[in-house]
Amino acid sequence: MKNDHDISGFEQQLTAHAVTVEQLLIRLLDERPRLGEVTRPPRLMAAIRHGALNGGKRLRPFLVTETARLYDADPAAALRVAAALECIHCYSLVHDDLPAMDDDDMRRGMPTVHKAYDEAAAILAGDGLLTYAFDIIACDETELPVKTRLDLVASLARAAGIGGMVGGQALDLMAETASPSEAEIITLQAMKTGALIRFACEAGAIIGNASEQERERLAEFGSAIGLAFQLADDLLDVTADAATMGKATGKDAAAGKATLVSLHGVDWTRQQLAGLVAQAEDLLAPFGEKAQTLKEAAHFIALRQS
Ligand code: GRG
């Protein structure tokens, strides 16, 4: 991977896609109660919108729709699955920012939900986003076969839950007091941030009714870029400033928290990133030209500056 790889074209594509995701999220998160709901409390909805409609990169949704595109799958259905995954990602950020977790005041350049509202509102906003994600996928408006929706719900639950993101967060909290080994750091990161990115890539294969082999290949691609994402994040924690990131940086070092960057240094990390991008590109080789944007995504993840 060349450090001068041009990711600006990809960034434009990602930004345009983020607008489409945002538009769907705005519709999904309006105050109109859906069938079976009694009412949508306005303050809860305001806190939810603060946590979800505030200018994230929308990378995970992009990965869902791009992998689904490999199979010419229904773009509207893929977009709904993408939005559902983003709801889970946003919930994880809202809860991660709470005083009991990472205790952050700023996220995406704005006050965190518990700062703008209060802690109870932030907990409930996260809970609401988490449960709504499964509603979005399971309901009939997501026009996919019932078996496909079930498969997506089960896979997303596993990625987000005990043996995935939630478990990874638990291991991460423990790592603040015990020094984890390198293998333990890799495991916790694969769970905490890797699992949702892996699901994002696998989701396209599920939506597209791909073979088991291709589903596994895309999931592996997701794992490779998920690890790259975390390495790049740890690198930015060391090299970027808070204004660029829209959140506090230097927190890991200040807390004495071990990361692969603190164990091996910046040069080693950059080499690892290059290796992961090469691995990701190899995994996409069978998809040919159609996977070009996903290759660009792998470069973007490794080279991103915010
Ligand atoms: C609270 C159950 C629970 C889980 C939290 C994802 C997570 C687990 C915590 C986030 C902590 C963190 C900053 C991890 C580093 C990687 C990461 C997820 C960064 C934020 O994701 P981006 O860069 O954010 O995709 P945007 O704002 O673009 O959506």
User: Does 96 contact ligand 1 (Cβ within 6 A)?
Assistant: yes
Query: Taking 90 as the threshold, does the pLDDT of residue 44 lie above it?
Result: yes
Instruction: Give distance in angstroms: CA of 154 to centre of ligand 1.
Output: 21
The tens digit of pLDDT for each residue in 274-283 reads 999 999 999 9
pLDDT tens string 79-91: 999 999 999 999 9
58 in Cβ contact with 83 (< 8 Å): no
Q: How far is CA 195 from CA 190, 229, 230, 257, in A?
A: 6, 12, 11, 21
169 lines ligand 1 (CB under 6 A): yes
Q: Is the C-beta atom of 166 inside 6 A of ligand 1?
A: yes
Element (H, E) at 111: strand 110-111
pLDDT at 245: 61
Sign, CA dihedral 90-23-194-165, equals: positive
Q: How far apart are CA 17 and CA 235, in angstroms?
A: 26
For residue 192, which atom of ligand 1 is closest to its CA?
8
Q: How confident is the model at residue 165 (pLDDT cuts 50, 70, 90)?
A: very high
What is residue 106's three-state secondary structure? strand
pLDDT interval class at 74 (50, 70, 90) = very high
User: Does ligand 1 have an atom closer than 6 angstroms to the CB of 251?
Assistant: no
**3-state secondary structure (DSSP) of residue 107:** strand
CA dist 288 and 54 (Å) reads 35
Tell me the HSE value of 171 on the side-chain side, using a 13 A CA sphere.
22
Superfamily of domain 4-303: Farnesyl Diphosphate Synthase (1.10.600.10)
The pLDDT score that the predictor gives to residue 178 is 87
Is the pLDDT score of 110 beyond 90? Answer: yes
- Of ligand 1's atoms, which has the minimum distance to the CA of residue 126? 1
Give residue 3's pLDDT: 57
User: Phi and psi for 274 in degrees, rounded to 5?
Assistant: -60, -40
Residue length of the chain: 306
**CA-nearest residue, atom 10 of ligand 1:** 93
Q: What is the pLDDT of residues 189-198, one digit of tens each?
A: 999 999 999 9
Ligand 1 atom index nearest CA of 55: 27
Average pLDDT over residues 90-94: 98
* Torsion region of 247: left, alpha or beta (phi above 0 gives left; psi -120 to 50 gives alpha): beta
* Residue 211 CA to ligand 1 centre (angstroms): 30
Q: Say if residue 170's pLDDT is above 80.
A: yes
pLDDT at 35 over 70: yes
User: How high is the pLDDT of residue 97?
Assistant: 98
Distance CA 232, CA 302 (A): 6
- Structural domain spans, the chain: 4-303
How much is the mean pLDDT over the chain? Answer: 94
- pLDDT confidence bin for 28, thresholds 50/70/90: very high
Q: What global pTM score does this model have? A: 0.95
| Overall average pLDDT of the 114-128 stretch | 98
**Euclidean distance between CA atoms 248 and 245, whole angstroms:** 7
List pLDDT tens digits, range 243-288: 666 666 677 777 777 899 999 999 999 999 999 999 999 999 999 9
Residue 165 Cβ contacting ligand 1 at under 6 Å: yes
